[in-house]
Structure 1
Amino acid sequence: MKELQKEFDSFLKGLKELGKIENNVMEHIQDRVENGFLGILERLEKCQSPIEQILSLELGRVLDSSILHEHGNLDIEKQMQCTFTDKNGNDENVRVDFLISFFDKDREIFEQFVVECDGHDFHDRTKEQAAKDRRRDRYFAMQGISVIRYTGSEIIQDPLWCAKEIENIVRSNVEKMYSARRTQEDLPF
């Protein structure tokens, strides 16, 4: 962290030495760079694997500029703990990589999505792990929560595409909810 701060300070010093940038512009540059730096650190916080970190960076960037913000609140939580009951009646604690929540300004529409980064080391490696992942997916389906899964290879090859696809899935589901609400309002009963 100290090394990054030294690099940042050196960058700012170099800009000042150019002499072509006024102080108020320099302050603006410093604020933008610091906010960007803090945003990156925040997006990496709590991620437990490199593929989660990569997707978190792109997902934050894509969702920060999403049109969905015009219609409500869009929130991303990392490493959420959930508890569900298995078929034998035992509570099972699970962690999801990302939980994306959307609710409109009137709080009439609420959608949640679980995003999982399936690295080979932890998913589908054994029949037991694959079965556990499928049980989790079914549990979330019963709660009305969509599960979106990406392999580590997909994330490594094109993390921006994965993030844009997630935003498209969220937007598409929210649009369906708005359409369903309008249709229900038009029903005579």
Structure 2
Amino acid sequence: MQAQTMQAQTMQHKRCMATVNKSRSMMRTYLSDEGVPLSYSRKRRIAMNLLKEYIREKYSSNEEIQEKLLETLSVYFNQVDNILQKTESPIEKTMAIELLNLIKSDSELGEIGFVDLEPQKTIKLNNRNKYYVADFLITWKPTVSVNGVERKLIVECDGHDFHEKTKEQVKKGKLRDRKLFLEGYTVFHFTGSEIYEDVSGCAIEVLEMIRSWHLSWVHG
């Protein structure tokens, strides 16, 4: 009987997480749709109401599950609000939501380490009075605390209107990437077309980098 109860609880948890992940996917699609001529705050209110209706209809017979799911989504919306307020271009906002969704929904990440996502992160180059603002800084640390073990990945969204345009700017960008590499940063660049055409694929590349860090640490 106890085994059956645990199995039922596990199945219920999986269904709930599937609902949360589906809701996050719906949220990302709606908020990043430039074809919807509404402000972000208006989109957010509409999306939240739609998700509430979806959850209440799907779990109409269980108010406890409804409450837990709505609480989870409320936390998620607050995280989305915080991260989107700090991003600039449309492609950054699209990438931000996708990265956040992937980090929050991939249960394996919680097992391989701590992952932190920071948009518009100011980075000071060591031994230089120079500062650089990264579109996103992703920091990974292993679950087992080890002094000095930390990996950092910079993600740049290279849209036409917000980034390099001239040969001189491209040259400076390449030089900056090399300096960042020497100081321990990995730098990923994604073009605007890559993000618009396959933002999920871009985010998965980031996830694979995090997984490779974990494997390197385990077998290192």
Q: Same-fold call, TM > 0.5? A: yes
Q: Equivalent residue for 2:130?
A: 92
Give the conservation status (yes or no) of the 8 Å contact 1:123–1:130.
no
Q: Which has the higher contact order (CA 8 A, sep 6+)?
A: 1
Instruction: Provide the TM-score with structure 2 as the length reference.
Output: 0.68
Q: Equivalent residue for 1:150?
A: 190
Q: Equivalent residue for 1:31?
A: 71
Unaligned runs of 5+ in 1: 181-189
> Equivalences for 1:36-51 in 2 at 5 Å?
36-51=76-91
Please state how far the C-alpha of 1:26 moved relative to its aligned partner.
4.2
Rg larger in 1 or in 2? 1
Residues 13 and 130 of structure 1, relative CA distance in 2, 3 Å threshold: closer
The farther-off stretch of 92-101 and 33-42 is: 33-42
Aligned counterparts of 1:10 and 1:58: Cα–Cα separation in 2? 19
More helix by share: 2
Q: Equivalent residue for 1:58?
A: 98
> Equivalences for 1:61-80 in 2 at 5 Å?
61-64=101-104, 65=106, 67-80=108-121
Unaligned runs of 5+ in 2: 1-40
Q: Could you report, residue by residue, the CA deviation over 1:34-81 in whole angstroms, capped at 9, with x for unpaired residues?
A: 234323323323011111110111111112225232132111111111
Q: Could you report, residue by residue, the CA deviation over 1:5-57 in whole angstroms, capped at 9, with x for unpaired residues?
A: 4775687589879xx54543443353244234323323323011111110111
Residues 126 and 102 of structure 1, relative CA distance in 2, 3 Å threshold: same
Q: Does 1:102 align with 2:140?
A: yes
Residues 91 and 66 of structure 1, relative CA distance in 2, 3 Å threshold: farther
Aligned counterparts of 1:155 and 1:10: Cα–Cα separation in 2? 26
Q: Equivalent residue for 1:83?
A: 124
Identical counterparts, % of pairs: 30
Q: Equivalent residue for 1:118?
A: 158
CA RMSD in angstroms comes to 3.1
Q: Equivalent residue for 1:137?
A: 177
Give the conservation status (yes or no) of the 8 Å contact 2:113–2:214.
no
Give the conservation status (yes or no) of the 8 Å contact 1:99–1:114.
yes
Aligned counterparts of 1:166 and 1:155: Cα–Cα separation in 2? 13
More strand by share: 1
Aligned counterparts of 1:100 and 1:10: Cα–Cα separation in 2? 31
Instruction: Provide the TM-score with structure 1 as the length reference.
Output: 0.77
Aligned length in residues: 177
Aligned counterparts of 2:50 and 2:102: Cα–Cα separation in 1? 30
Aligned counterparts of 2:164 and 2:43: Cα–Cα separation in 1? 39
